Amino acid sequence: MDTNALKAFVAIVDQGSFSEAAEALHLTQPAISKRLAALENQLGIPLLERSQRQIRLTDAGARLLPHARRILDEVHNARQALQDQSGEVSGHLPLIASHHIGLHHLPAWLQQLSQAHPEISLGLQFIDSEGAYDQMLRRTAELAFVTLSESMDQSFEVHLRWEDRMAFVAAPHHSLATLKNPDLDALSAYDALLPEAGTATYRSVSRLFLGADLPLNLPMPTNYMETLKVMTGAGLGWSVLPVSMVDASLTVLPVPHQVSRLLGAIGLRGRTLSPQARALLEIARKLRPAAGAANAR
């Protein structure tokens, strides 16, 4: 079974179209179609149902897909074994980072990586953590630096984790900032500026309010922490932000509840990391925030 044909098949499924699969693999659309046709002819059964609007897996295609991914992962692992033998730390390193980690942690790590190994070329995608998990399953990157999910798929392996402590905050001129001992009941009377439902931060805060049987007013959710910080500093509501982001534009509210989240680096289980990915992880281990940090291998 030709691995190039399997790669074309997987790319069509992941990208959802022949044209986007061709672009992802740097091929022409006829070349992608030819590779899929050759695979289907070899197996003697159609793998995809084609229509003008969408592409769907046939039953045979659905059965083949996980095997195709494992075969391509083993080809990848074989190449990494040969690269390890050479001792070189070079080549392309595709990464995914959440916007917060990409702004506040990753730049220092990448600076050290490029200084130590200038032969590495980086490919970096900024995606919210929830979207990063989907992209990793599509093998678009070796590592993703994300907020770790409580319901993470078993396909993922956590290579690094650390605690990101958070604080309830408001603008210095906000009414909540004048309260000596603000509680959840006081906060529930004002708009909350938080990430969207489904994010780790929202779930942590939402559980507190649900437990207290209090409403949580969320008029304009956004997953961009920097945007939340600016809106909070403008007095549009209160928020829960990483302690590392708090500055003079914000006042920490002494709410008697602790909120934190786990950040980390994930890869795909059973897929060998390249020397350049391992070099970045080693730098991240040394430079990550010390509080609450713990390795997971």
259-296 pLDDT tens trace: 999 999 999 999 999 999 999 999 999 998 865 444 33
130 confidence band (pLDDT: 50, 70, 90): confident
Residues 41 and 152 in one domain: no
**Interval 181-189 mean pLDDT:** 96
For residues 23 and 101, state if they share a domain: no
**Residues 147 and 35 both lie in one domain:** no
Of the residues 39, 64, 84, the one at which a domain ends: 84
CATH number (domain holding residue 51): 1.10.10.10
The pLDDT, as a whole number, for residue 51 is: 75
267 and 162 in a common domain: yes
Query: Packing angle between helix 59-86 and helix 275-287, nearest 10 degrees?
Result: 80
Polymer length in residues for the chain: 297
Mean pLDDT, range 14-42, rounded to an integer: 93
User: At 86, which amino acid appears?
Assistant: S
Q: Do 295 and 181 belong together in one domain?
A: yes
pLDDT above 70 covers a percentage of the chain that reads: 97
Non-local CB neighbours of 272 within 8 Å, separated by 6+ positions: 76, 77, 80, 81
Q: What is the pLDDT of residue 290?
A: 67
Last residue of a domain, one of 50, 84, 118: 84
CATH code at 134? Answer: 3.40.190.290
78 and 147 fall within a common domain: no
Examine the domain organization and report whether 75 and 217 are in the same domain: no
The pLDDT value given to residue 9: 95
Supply the pLDDT for residue 293: 40
Shared domain check, 172 and 70: no
pLDDT of residue 81: 86
Instruction: State the Cα–Cα distance between residues 59 and 91, nearest whole angstrom.
Output: 38
Whether pLDDT at 253 is above 60: yes
Q: 25-41 b/e with 16+ CB inside 10 Å = b?
A: bebeeeebbebbeebbe
Do 272 and 294 share a structural domain? yes
Over residues 32-43, the mean pLDDT reads 94
* 79 and 95 together in one domain: no
Say what the pLDDT of residue 292 is.
Answer: 41
Last residue of a domain, one of 61, 84, 107: 84
Those residues whose C-beta lies under 8 Å from the C-beta of residue 124, and which sit 6 or more positions away, are 94, 95, 96, 97, 102
Are 164 and 64 in a shared domain?
no
| Confidence (pLDDT) at 294 | 40
Same domain, 24 and 143: no
Residue 297 has pLDDT above 70, yes or no: no
Q: Which two tokens stand for residue 112?
A: 């050290």
Mean pLDDT of 101-112: 94
Residues 6+ positions from 49 with CB-CB distance below 8 Å:
55, 56, 57, 58
Task: Indicate the number of domains in the chain.
Answer: 2
Q: Whole domain around residue 17: which residue ranges?
A: 3-84
